[in-house]
């Protein structure tokens, strides 16, 4: 991942910290540390040694895929709207909880939109957090919420099979090079995803 090129593509889209690792246990863990400091960030890695899936499952993350975590702050406009809608029988904390539950689905839609624009293929979401092409899993998404003072930061961990080899046991997964014959630069795909994610916040 060329971070200089990525930052150039992110001009006017994202102004947080951008950091790339050759290898890291989990991009989500790194991003979470920045969230706890109240900082937005985009963390990428060439591979992960302990990539995270739902229910503490591991997400295979060999070299050749796109492994990224976006740490984004929920806008004050959304937080203010939650407070205004709160009623005695539905306090703000419940309103916030309901709103946060919508973000994993919206994140899936955002990633699918970015993929479809670049690959010109009909991707499908398998709820709650997988994206399929031709009935093969090509992407997994894991979202976490981290509070900091009066802010809420959302951690969007996204792993996409681009050209990475997959274990033989993963019979329901494939990489996008195999399925489409296309190679999309990681920087371009990453920036497109961030642009779509920012729209939901």
Report the chain (201 residues): mean pLDDT per 10 consecutive residues: 95 95 94 95 92 65 92 76 50 59 91 97 92 96 89 93 90 94 96 95 81
CATH code of residue 157: 3.30.930.10
Residue partners of 7: CB distance under 8 A and separation at least 6:
18
Task: Say what the pLDDT of residue 148 is.
Answer: 87
C-alpha span between 1 and 66 (Å, rounded): 9
- Count of domains observed in the chain: 1
CA atoms within 13 A on the CB side of 148: 18
In the structure, how many helices (H) and strands (E) does the chain have? 6, 7
Question: Angle at Cα 48 formed by Cα 114 and Cα 69, nearest 5°?
Answer: 40
Q: Supply the range of the domain harboring residue 168.
A: 3-199
Task: Say what the pLDDT of residue 94 is.
Answer: 47
């Amino acid at each position: 991942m060329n971070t200089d090129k990525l930052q150039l593509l992110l001009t006017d889209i994202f102004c947080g910290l951008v950091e790339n690792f050759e290898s890291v246990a989990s991009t989500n863990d790194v991003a979470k540390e920045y969230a706890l400091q109240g900082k937005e960030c985009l963390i990428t890695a060439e591979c992960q040694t302990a990539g995270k899936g739902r229910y503490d499952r591991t997400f295979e993350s060999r070299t050749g895929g796109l492994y990224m975590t976006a740490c984004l702050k929920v806008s004050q406009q959304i937080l203010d709207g939650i407070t205004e809608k709160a009623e005695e029988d539905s306090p703000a904390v419940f309103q916030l909880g309901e709103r946060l539950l919508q973000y994993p689905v919206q994140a899936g839609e955002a990633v699918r939109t970015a993929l479809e624009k670049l690959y010109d293929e009909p991707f499908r979401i398998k709820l709650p957090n997988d994206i399929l092409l031709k009935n093969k899993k090509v992407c997994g998404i894991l979202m976490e919420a981290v509070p900091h003072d009066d802010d809420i930061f959302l951690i969007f961990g996204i792993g996409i099979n681009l050209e990475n080899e997959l274990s033989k046991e993963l019979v329901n997964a494939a990489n996008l090079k195999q399925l489409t014959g296309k190679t999309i630069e990681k920087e371009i795909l990453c920036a497109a995803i961030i642009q779509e994610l920012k729209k939901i916040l």
